Amino acid sequence: MVDWKPLKRWLFTTNHKDIGILYLLTSLYFFVTAGLFALTFRFQLAVPSNTFLQPDEYNQLVTTHGLLMLLWVITPLGAAFANYFVPIQIGARDMAFPRLNALSYWVYLASGMLALSSFFAGGGTADWGWTTYAPLNTVEFSPAVGGSMMGLALMLLMASSIVSTVNFLVTIFRLRAPGMSLVRLPLFTWGWIFTSLLMLWAFPAFVSALSLLVADRAFGTVFFTSTQGGPLLWDHMFWFFGHPEVYVLLLPGFAIVGDLFSTFSRRPLYAKKIIIACLAIASILSFTVWAHHMFMTGISQSLLEAFNVTTELISIPFAIIVIAYIFTLRGGSIRFTTPMLFAVGALGLFIIGGVTGVFNSSVALDTAFRGTFWVVGHFHYTIVGGGLTGLFGGLYYWFPKITGRMYSERLGKIHFAIYMVGFNLLYFPMHLLYDMPRRIFKYDASTGWGPINLLITIGGFTFGISQLIMFANLLWSARRGPAADKDPWGGYSLEWGIPSPPPEFNFPEGVPVISASGVTFRPSTPAMANGGQAMADGGHANGGHAYVSHEDEFGEEHWSHWPIVVAAGAGIALWGLLMGLPALFLGTGVLAAALVGWGRESLRGRSEVPVEATGEKWPFDRLENLSLGMWIFVFGEIAFFGTLFGAFVFLRMNSPLTGFVWPRPGEVHNIFWGGFNTIVLLTSGLTMVFALTFARRGSYRGLQASLVATFALGAFFMVNKAFEWNELFTNGFTFSTSSASSIYYVLSGVHGAHVVAGLTALVYLMVKALKAGSVKQASGAVEIFGIYWGMVDAVWVFLFPLLYLL
Amino acid sequence: MPALAPSAEQWQSLFTLYIIAAVIVGGAVFVMFFFFLVRYRRKPGGTEPTDAPRVGVMADRGNPALAAILTALLVSLFFGLTLNTFALNAYLQNPPNDPNALYIDVIGFQWGWRFVYPNGHEAIDELRVPVINGTCTSSVRGCWSGTVILNITSADVFHSFGIAVFKIKRDAIPGRVNQAWFVADKVGIPDTIPEYREAVRCYELCGTGHALMFADLLVLTGDNFRGWYNGR
Amino acid sequence: MMIEEAKYAAVYGILMLGLIVEILIAVDGGALGSLAGPAILAIASLQAIFIFLVYMHGRYGPRPVAVFAVISLITVVPLFIALLYSVVMPHHGSLP
């Protein structure tokens, strides 16, 4: 008999630690893949006029190396540690939404597979550089299907990240142990809070940019081919996401460095509160610096000079953090074990990257640096040097906790030595090539760039080979290493107070209670914050069961087979969107079936993680997990629609300058038809709030009637809109007519998709109201859906004037 | 060091200023960092600090004044750097008001550069310009001062026009015209001045031929340039 | 309880009123001239604020949510400023 248990565990787990391990292994797999891509094109560049690679192969490798390393390696590696350790560090038994957590992982994997399969989609994959500049990214200049597939893979990945972000923020804000106030959170968890917030606000902006791109490529809209939109629109939208993304990559590793400095120097972090404040300031500033990627685009000089200043300003919080880290060492007793060596290396490399960053902030020096290897050197020092090196420090640091075994210290130190030599040989000489354009597949010997490139390639292979030592060390040690103590380093975060590896529910001795004198464990109280009331998203908080007494029952339920099926369905559907109808239908069918299965599982009263009544929840004490989750999702939607509105404003304002006459109000769109539809949608908003009132009052008929009315009005809105689109199409106002038609269809289409998603959820809600033991139990779910529906209304309130009246 | 063209010389002096600041500031940080690492390394028989972190506890310490001092220092440093940057930026961004400047339209395409001269002459992948001429002041008519003003655009995708020897660069964007300008200080062709070979390059990935998108620079004496310009 | 419902109905009335005013401005925008666009957007913003405060808050009215919502809005503000600036004030404005 085959033992199915391990397979079931790894495919269906919803345990945050298992998911963390899955993230870890997957991100390391992509690390090796993208690293081999880099070695391949470094080999091409080793000598002048090399013919090892064809130009198109080179461009594809450069592009996918960048995209994979940034989005499928470094962030998920941070997410691996966050999944494993954030719940433990805050004193929780799991994430707030374990199934959504599993979903994030499987969608991440599906998006990665979609990205890699784009190589084989015919014509190769995206070859326009990870920055995907317009209009090279349009069908006219890059017709390959693989490029579109990469776009869809990126959208899928963003969806995974946004779900995960909502999950983490709810977890960290709502599931903290008693006494675990926000300032007591370890620096790594703080780093992850800011990483999550940056993802929450920056990733939706990328989704909206990708929506325009995919619409251009798949439906023939004209955002990046028309003169009203064009390259500058993409530049702004992309870099508005792209620069916060840089800090998404940096912060997890950079925060680990702080924890390692404290642990291994045996000193408390110097000025921890100021470090946290600096992280907050840097996160906000990171949304105001992106145009330093556009210094040479010839846009308003006063604007660019402002961005010059903000870019300099953002280095100040980081400088303060660096100095605070260094001051942490004072008076310490530093042990140079492998994690500390990597932390020291990360800080040293980050300082170099930070200093060259000040050069890049200069709008005048950029006339030489823009588009050259200097920039490549700079950002590898920050992202690989500061970010990835810190994450590798974390890998060694937490290895004993995850596996229960020690790695070989000697091999770890050898890895570090070769890593540092390889790194500096690889990236430092790039600064000397500030005349050499990046992303060129060959150069002539007469340029004189040959010797330095050879040195860089040698450094690259050294750096690559050093990772083999790490893999060998960790693979061997995971099986054969000596058993690790509970706390081999003397760490301060809670994971060092529990066994290695941690048991399924993290805290076998009871709920951790934090006070100024340390942590104690107490057997938990049965009461839960929501008093056994049904939780909305179908989660049923096992009302009445004690926090500990249902441990076994909860353990039984620590898995679900729907997340992996949902992810598979989504992946196949997107693949089919480009590759053929059978796959599209199959994927959509699987996805629909899986969502129904997920919903039924929720209706059966599947448990979500119970909320510890006495835990710390500031500042969201008065919300429930699901409503906070919905609110956080809405915050992300603000960034998503905000960026799309930005695109509208750009196109609209640019029209007179480019000689395009935007349709006057009433010229193309029927104001009264649109106004009527607005009334329909706003009325459905009213019936939705009445549904909540009826639910609270316990009136079943009232609830059901208002839900049905909401559904009917929403459906009528969509039908009405379908007629409207049909009318416009017959009148010759199609996707590709103009930038005005393009933005009309994308904005109203994206909003329509939100309405359809809402209608689907409404069906679930009606079934739930039907089945719920008492109507009041359904009120939580009604309230959460009400938040979503209100957002859909609020967005339309802007869309109607933008599309019909201006 | 050989003499540089005016734009490159100005760039170089700003770069040197930044290098000096970077070496001083970065060097000071590194010295402190390594000093602490060595000074506070664990010694045999040494004891742990009394406030060493343990599970659930991290003592609060630190002095906010340090952050304030650091901010003040960096702000004043950046203030100096920024003033110099803005001055150079104004110089690079605003072509001089020179009646004897030569205007050239630059059109990037996949994959090459087309240069269109005022009299309609076109050249592909060769940028011919007259050298600086000190006697051609603004009161003189019918001569080229050596100031070259480029109106840069693109016929297809996003390119970026750069001449490394002059340290000038500007994106070549379809639908937009961006300006850049320079003065060439040394007469020469690629055979006599190697830096002029493939001196004009594209600095934004623009497709298959990105690496091959370059043009040679030919800086001619006023007479030679006139001969080429009129002879075509 | 009835007060709640009256509040919802009142907001509905305000939303409808705003809609009518918007349409009137758009159809006969001559009176307001160049202010017509900003006026319409201001009305839309007010409508959205009412939906946010009354329809979306339910029984909670938690201030942290409002704070976060404002921060979310602030993150996209720089984008609008930059987009407007880079269109309206190009450095080398001319087009081919």
**Orientation angle between helical segments A145-174 and A625-657, nearest 10 degrees:** 140
Query: Integer distance in angstroms from the first to the last C-alpha of chain B?
Result: 37
d(CA A461, CA A468): 11
Rounded to the nearest 5 degrees, what angle is found at the Cα of A133, between the Cα atoms of A129 and A136?
90
CB contact residues (below 8 A), chain B span 129-188, against chain A: 156-158, 160, 162, 164, 167-171, 173-179
For residue A501, whether the previous peptide bond is cis, meaning omega lies within 30 degrees of 0, is: yes
**Which residue segments constitute the domains of chain B, with CATH numbers given?**
1-39+63-94 (no CATH), 102-231 (2.60.40.420)
Q: What are phi and psi of B149, to 5 degrees?
A: -110, 125
- A522 three-state secondary structure: strand
Is B89 an interface residue toward C (CB < 8 Å)? no
Residues forming beta bridges with residue A483, ordered by sequence position: A405
Q: Which residues of B touch A333 (CB under 8 A)?
A: 40-43, 46-49
3-state secondary structure chain B: CCCCCHHHHHHHHHHHHHHHHHHHHHHHHHHHHHHHHHHCECCCCCCCCCCCCECCECCCCCCHHHHHHHHHHHHHHHHHHHHHHHHHHHHHHCCCCCCCCEEEEEEEECCEEEEECCCCCEEECEEEEECCCCCCCCCCCCCCCCEEEEEEEECCCCEEEEEHHHCEEEEECCCCCEEEEEECCCCECCCCCHHHCCCEEECCCCCCCHHHCEEEEEEECHHHHHHHHHHC
pLDDT, tens digit, for every residue of A1-19?
567 788 888 999 999 999 9
Residue C96 has pLDDT above 80, yes or no: no
Residue A252 has phi, psi (to 5 degrees) of -60, -50
Q: What is the pLDDT of residue C62?
A: 65
Q: In chain A, where are the structural domains located?
A: 55-263+508-560+606-650, 661-806
Residue A58 scores a pLDDT above 50: yes
User: Which tokens in the block code for residue C37?
Assistant: 């666009």
Residue pLDDT, tens place only, A494-525: 999 999 999 988 999 899 999 999 999 988 65
Q: Is B106 on the interface with A (CB under 8 A)?
A: no
* Interchain CB distance below 8 Å, C96 and B178: no
Chain-centroid distance of CA B231 in Å reads 34
- The fold of the A55-263+508-560+606-650 domain, in CATH, is Cytochrome C Oxidase; Chain A (1.20.210)
B191 at the A interface (CB within 8 A)? no
Q: Do A201 and C75 touch (CB under 8 A)?
A: yes
Interface pTM, i.e. ipTM: 0.96
Residue A794 contacts C where some CB pair is shorter than 8 Å: yes
CB contact under 8 A, A805 and C22: yes
Do the Cβ atoms of B61 and A270 come within 8 Å? yes
∠ CA A651-A656-A658, nearest 5°, is: 75
Q: Do A133 and B205 touch (CB under 8 A)?
A: yes
Cβ <8 Å between C23 and A805 = yes
What's the rounded Cα separation, in Å, for the pair C72 and A206? 15
The pTM of the full predicted model, rounded to 2 decimals, is 0.95
Tokens encoding B157 = 């995708």
Select the residue of B93, B177, B179 nearest C96 (Cβ to Cβ).
B177
Whole-number CA gyration radius for chain A: 27
Please give the pLDDT value at position A4: 76
Pairing of strands B112-116, B122-124: antiparallel
Q: Which of C40, C74, C75 sits opposite A801 (nearest CB)?
A: C40
- Residue A135, preceding bond cis, omega within 30 degrees? yes
A150-160 per-position pLDDT tens digit: 999 999 999 99
**Which helix or strand (DSSP H or E) is residue A514 part of?**
strand A511-515
Residue among A298, A657, A786 minimizing CB distance to C91: A298
pLDDT of residue A525: 54
The predicted structure's pLDDT at residue B178: 93
Q: For B170, which of A296, A439, A493 is closest by C-beta distance?
A: A296
pLDDT of residue A426: 97
pLDDT at A466: 97
Interface of C with B in 64-93 (CB under 8 A): 90-92
What angle is formed at CA B58 by the lines to CA B54 and CA B62, rounded to 5 degrees? 140
> Which pLDDT score, from 0 to 100, does residue A607 have?
54
> What CATH number should be reported for the domain whose range is A661-806?
1.20.120.80
With contact defined as beta carbons under 8 Å apart, do A391 and A253 qualify? yes
Confidence (pLDDT) at A554: 47
Which H or E element spans position A519?
strand A518-522
pLDDT mean over A662-667: 90
Q: Tell me, what's the pLDDT at C87? A: 80
| pLDDT surpasses 90 at A538 | no
Q: Which of A440, A442, A489, A517 should be substituted to probe chain B, the one whose Cβ sees the most B Cβ atoms within 10 Å?
A: A440
- Which chain A residues touch B176 with a CB distance below 8 Å? 232, 297-298
Average pLDDT over residues A76-102: 96
Asked if residue A544 has pLDDT above 70, the reply is: no
pLDDT at C18 over 80: yes
pLDDT number for residue C91? 61
**A178 SS3 class:** coil
Residues facing residue B151 across a β-bridge? B105, B179
Question: Which residue in the set A299, A638, A786 is minimally distant from C86, CB to CB?
Answer: A299
Q: What is the pLDDT of residue A771?
A: 79
DSSP H helices, A215-269, are: 230-265
pLDDT tops 90 at residue A413: yes
Which chain B residues have a beta carbon less than 8 Å from that of C96? Answer: 153, 175, 177
**Strand B214-220 relative to strand B168-172: parallel, antiparallel, unpaired?**
unpaired
pLDDT of residue A534: 33
Residue B177 to residue C91, Cβ atoms within 8 A? no
The verdict on B113 touching A (C-beta cutoff 8 Å) is no
Q: What is the per-residue pLDDT for A480? A: 94
Interchain contact, C65 vs A679, CB within 8 Å: no
CA distance B218 to A534: 79
**Interface probe, candidates C89, C92, C95, chain B, greatest B C-beta count within 10 A:** C92
Q: Do A639 and C19 touch (CB under 8 A)?
A: no
Q: Which of B89, B106, B178 to mutate to test the interface with C (most CBs of C within 10 A)?
A: B178
- Region of poorest pLDDT, from A535-544, A656-665, B118-127: A535-544
Q: How far apart are CA A1 and CA A7, in angstroms?
A: 14
A580-637 per-position pLDDT tens digit: 899 999 999 999 999 999 988 888 766 566 677 888 988 888 888 888 999 999 999 9
pLDDT above 90 for A777? no
Per the structure block, which two tokens stand in for C11? 């907001």
| Subunits adjacent to chain A (3 or more Cβ pairs under 8 Å) | B, C
Question: Residue range A401-423: average pLDDT?
Answer: 97
Q: What is the pLDDT at residue B1? A: 44
At residue A334, the 3 state secondary structure works out as strand
**Do C94 and B175 lie within an 8 Å CB cutoff?**
no
Stretch A719-725: mean pLDDT, rounded? 96
- Closest of A651, A627, A600 to residue A787, by C-alpha: A627
Residue type, B39: R
* SS3 state of residue A521: strand
High-pLDDT (> 90) share of chain A, %: 82
Alpha carbons within 13 angstroms on the beta-carbon side of residue A688 total 36
Query: Distances from the Cα of A515 to the Cαs of A198, A491, A520, A743, C75, in angstroms?
Result: 30, 17, 8, 55, 36
| Cβ-based contacts under 8 A for chains A and B | 277
Partner residue facing C95 (CB), from B93, B175, B179: B175
* Chunked mean pLDDT (size 10), chain B, 232 residues: 84 97 97 97 90 90 92 96 96 92 96 96 96 91 93 96 96 93 95 95 96 96 94 73
Neighbors of chain C with 3 or more C-beta pairs under 8 Å: A, B
